[in-house]
Structure 1
Amino acid sequence: MRILHTSDWHIGRSFHGHSTLDALRGVLETLVAQVREHAVDVVLVAGDVFDSATPAAGAYTLLSDVLRGLADAGATVVVTSGNHDSAARLGFQSSLLRAGVHVITDPAAVGTPVVVEDEHGPVSIYGIPYLEPVLLRAQWPGVRSQADVLAHAMGLVRSDLAERGGRAVAMAHCFAAGVEPTPQLERDIQQGGLDIVPLSVFDGVDYMALGHIHGQQQLSPRVRYSGAPLHYSFGERFKPRGSWLIDLDADGMHDAQWLDLPVPRTLTTLTGPLEELLTDERHAAHESDWINVEYTDPLPQRDPMRRLLARFPYCAAVAHTPVAARTDDARTYVERVRATRNEAELVDAFLAHVREGDGASEREARLIAEVVEQRAHAEVTA
């Protein structure tokens, strides 16, 4: 049996205020083509289908179109909800979908598999939706963390599998041991600190398809994250986009290969003085990229975004990150102030302090001298 593992579509998410709906549609259409090309039997979507609990109408349209395309390509589709999804809204759509598309959002369904047959017999696919510990304490006494609820859920899976027998695949949406999250991007699944689910929780199945982390990661040969199909932040720009193609034989997991997905627009971070970024021909190759600019001028510049957009029409973010000038002056600020001989030197010492080493420029020094002279003249004539 051939299984394609994807997750974290985040339909409806914006990128620095720009819609990603059209870009995501193109990428997911490529994923549908890969399912057809590689004769995939089952597609697993491990949570965070939508980016919001209240997605716009266009997000529902895209999801319906992609699920229909996957089913038309001959695949059974199993979708679970993630922490970004509204389980109720995503689950409501499941009753309206065609045969062969399964949307699992109810914790009561954990331990009841979708069964798919191949030439070697049945494969049980256990979908585990995102489980909120606080909401499950009445049904599952003693659970207080993601590790607790996943351990309980996998216990239900193993119990059912012990009676059913055969090969099994499971899917969940969580932080698992050893992951490297993208800062400020994945919404924490935690309670009282980082809540990590140990790998041992996932014992007992032939393959574990995880969602929530936006980068491709292999925690063990049989436990993997596929990551998101689009880059949703500049912090992700070096992480490949794609999905895992998993082959099961009669004995279980046989092989895994990575299928790349296209990147609609490259993400690039440019660093340097603003004028250099606006004029240097070295940056010409990035004029059609999504651009994040960190300009290093000592002082903030006027209208940097407007000026950058004239050259980089897809400039999405600008930050002023001045580079501190190197200095051999190890004195404290108080010591430097005490060493000043006049008001001009006092102002220069202050500028060097707030700029972490870079004092007044030549032009600023002239202005400071003029102001100090005018002030002295005013005091004399007062």
Structure 2
Amino acid sequence: MRLLHTSDWHVGRTFHGADLLADQDAVLAHLAELVERLAVDVVLVSGDVYDRAVPSAEAVRVATAALRRLREAGAQLVITSGNHDSAARLGAFAEFAEAGGLHLRTTVDALDRPVLLDDEHGPVALYGIPYLEPDPARLALGVPEARGHTGVLTEAMRRIRQDLAGRAAGTRSVVLAHAFVTGGAGSESERTIAVGGVEQVPGSVFDGVDYVALGHLHGPQTLAEHLRYSGSPVAYSFSETARKAVWLVDLDANGFAGAERAELPVPRALATVRDRLESLLEDPAHESLRECYLSVTLTDPVRPLDAMRRVRSRFPHAVHLDWQPDGGGDRPLRYADAVRGRTDLEIAETFLADCRGDEPGRRERELLVAALETAGRANSDRKDTTR
């Protein structure tokens, strides 16, 4: 049996305000091409199908189209809910969907009820553990003494091993889980699932099964041969520079037979650049960045006015802008003593200088004086009305 392991689609997510639905749709369509071309039997989606508990109609449309294409390509689908999903919404109509080859595992009481599929070597039991929020999960699992993610996942896996032990000899096993397993490397785009400062669980919790398809971390990575993260199919932060991928996992008569990485297309590359604004707009060396999602750090000694609009005149997909003047790190911050012995006007002027990297001009001082006088009159009027 051949499995395609993916996760963390986060359909509906934006990238620094840029709409990613078209990018997500294109990459998810490629998964269906892989299924058909490489004879994949089962697609595993280990949580975070959507980016929000209540996804937009457009996000639902993209996700539904992706699932339809995967099913039409010939694969069965096994999906669990992640910490971004609404388990109840994602799992709606699960019993009806199962008849069409879409197997949703979003509830605690179903985590030890496997999807049973057969190949030439016999049965394969696929268990889906939805994201388990520790406090409600320990009560739902009947283990009030369990602590944190490790406690509830330990109980979940105990139930799975117990079910597996009662099945026919030679039954191979796969577990989908959405968790932060020790040894995994996070990125800037994952939402923390820490409870009491602890979010990681040891990989040994998942011992006793042939393959564990992990979700939550957005970079593809191998913690053990049978314990892997597929990562997200699209980059959601500038820290995600590694090429996105899925795992193609083969099971033979003895269980896990190997995994092969299949890289995914990049709808739009990510890039970062650091330069002064005029150089950024005029230097031919930057032309290769025109079609990238771009993070810009401006190094001008004075903060340029209307900087993002001007940057986008050349780089229409610039999505992030920062200002770090050359040598600015050596300039001491003055906020600690900003108000000590200073007038309101001096404080306001200091604030402007620190924000812009340059002293306010004559016209700006005139506007500050007028604003402070207006504020003073307003305060005086309020005091009069309270007498």
TM-score normalised according to structure 2 size: 0.83
Which residue in 2 is equivalent to 1:147? 150
What's the CA shift for 1:255?
1.4
In the comparison of the two structures, how many residue pairs are matched? 340
Gaps of 5+ in 1: 334-349, 372-382
Which residue in 2 is equivalent to 1:377? none
Q: Which moved more, 1:90-99 or 1:306-315?
A: 90-99
- Deviation track 1:22-72 (CA, whole Å, cap 9, x = no partner) reads 111111001110011000011100000000000011222222221121111
Which residue in 2 is equivalent to 1:195? 199
Are the structure 2 counterparts of residues 189 and 276 from structure 1 closer, same or farther at C-alpha, using a change threshold of 3 Å? same
What's the CA shift for 1:290?
0.9
Q: Which moved more, 1:273-282 or 1:136-145?
A: 136-145
1:1-382 residue pairs with structure 2 within 5 A?
Answer: 1-97=1-97, 98-139=99-140, 140-141=142-143, 142-164=145-167, 165=169, 166-183=171-188, 185-236=189-240, 238-324=241-327
- Deviation track 1:172-211 (CA, whole Å, cap 9, x = no partner) reads 000001111113x211112111311101001001110000
Tell me, in whole angstroms, the C-alpha distance in 2 between the residues paired with 1:119 and 1:296: 63
Please list every run of at least 4 consecutive aligned residues from structure 1 whose deviation after the TM superposition is greater than 2 angstroms.
93-98, 136-140
**What SS does the aligned partner of 1:30 have?**
helix
* Contact residue 137 and residue 143 of structure 1 kept, 8 A: yes
Are the structure 2 counterparts of residues 321 and 156 from structure 1 closer, same or farther at C-alpha, using a change threshold of 3 Å? same
Tell me, in whole angstroms, the C-alpha distance in 1 between the residues paired with 2:18 and 2:94: 29
**What SS does the aligned partner of 2:239 have?**
helix
Gaps of 5+ in 2: 335-349, 366-387
* Contact residue 136 and residue 143 of structure 1 kept, 8 A: no
- Deviation track 1:272-312 (CA, whole Å, cap 9, x = no partner) reads 11111111110001111111101111221111101001100
Tell me, in whole angstroms, the C-alpha distance in 2 between the residues paired with 1:16 and 1:137: 36
What's the CA shift for 1:325?
6.4
Are the structure 2 counterparts of residues 292 and 64 from structure 1 closer, same or farther at C-alpha, using a change threshold of 3 Å? same
**What SS does the aligned partner of 2:316 have?**
coil
**What SS does the aligned partner of 1:148 have?**
helix
- Deviation track 1:221-253 (CA, whole Å, cap 9, x = no partner) reads 1100000001111121x1221200001111111
Which residue in 1 is equivalent to 2:370? none
**What SS does the aligned partner of 1:40 have?**
coil
What's the CA shift for 1:95?
4.1
* Contact residue 78 and residue 103 of structure 1 kept, 8 A: yes
Given residue 215 of structure 1, which amino acid in structure 2 is its aligned partner? G
* Contact residue 44 and residue 78 of structure 2 kept, 8 A: yes
**CA RMSD between the two structures:** 2.4
TM-score normalised according to structure 1 size: 0.84
Given residue 274 of structure 2, which amino acid in structure 1 is its aligned partner? T
Which residue in 1 is equivalent to 2:368? none
* Contact residue 138 and residue 152 of structure 2 kept, 8 A: no
Which residue in 2 is equivalent to 1:339? none
* Contact residue 6 and residue 45 of structure 1 kept, 8 A: yes
- Deviation track 1:114-152 (CA, whole Å, cap 9, x = no partner) reads 011000000110110011111123232222211111111
